[in-house]
Amino acid sequence: MSSFLPWLDRASRAFWRVKGRPVDLAGEHQWLAAPMHDAQTVGDGWLRAAAAAHGGSVLEQDGGGLLPDMSQLDGPDFKAAELRPEIRDFYEHTSSWRLEVWTQWSALFRPGGELVSQLFGRRVQQLALPMRPLDVAHGMDSRVVTIVGTDGEQRAAGWIRKLRSTGEYVYSGCYSTRVLPGSGQPSVHVAFPLEAGNVQVFLRPSVSPDGALELTSPAGVFGDDGAYVVVEHRNGVHASRVPIHEAFRVYADSEGTLRTDHILRLWSASVLRLHYKLIPATT
């Protein structure tokens, strides 16, 4: 079995290379430039190379956030000043918060999710989506590592999440903001490094009347908010837009507790629902 798995990885990259279009990450498609990894197992091994690409370093400290300031997302469709203050605090000081998680898979997609988790997610320590409610019964450990440039300013942040019960990596993502071609509204950009490639999601922000944050990756065309797979090969880099759509709603419940509803869809079919309870670490 172990000798079969590297072949499976190469076949997967070959599929996305054939399906995708050539892209120029140093030119026209620079908006897709994001960390990749040089080994099969990902974990947090991509962080230092990502910092070196900015000519900077990694910095881990108490109170580190996914974004240094939510106003980086200000644009025609979003104003950070309209958010509830605790939501801003979560994104600007993420490492000061703890996560409790609940998960529910659609019965139709659960077998496929189990297969992907076993063959890829747990093995490469990346995008290992929890399959059962008890997998996350003890919560997730959340670690934020800031990537800073030569001027000391934050360029991106690595958000590393592990299952508290086993120590296994669930997500290892690079968070920043990007403005897509032809758009005047900054998006939240999340890249999940993989060997010789990555999965990227561009999330469109908005604020609901109650001050909640909504992030969506809707249907669209290449260059719009959404999900992309990028693979690198000796002949160049190829990228594909994929029909995976996500929706996040970060809000305070009637008792003032911060919560997040996360829905993952394939086309219009619901695949996975996650619910997060966000708790200040001091409590």
The residue whose two tokens read 């019965």 is 107
Listed by start position, the domains of the chain span 4-280
Judged against a pLDDT cut of 70, whether residue 249 lies above it is answered with yes
**CA torsion, points 117, 122, 126, 132, in degrees to nearest 10?**
50
Please give the Cα distance from 190 to 176 (Å, whole number).
7
Residue-wise pLDDT for 63-119, tens only, equals: 999 999 999 999 999 999 999 999 999 999 999 999 999 999 999 999 999 998 888
At 51, give phi and psi (nearest 5°): -65, -40
Residue-wise pLDDT for 172-188, tens only, equals: 999 999 999 999 999 99
Instruction: Provide the pLDDT confidence category of residue 235 given band limits of 50, 70 and 90.
Output: confident
User: pTM of the full predicted structure?
Assistant: 0.95
Predicted local distance difference test score (pLDDT) of residue 138: 87
For residues 118 and 7, the answer to whether their CB atoms sit within 8 Å is no
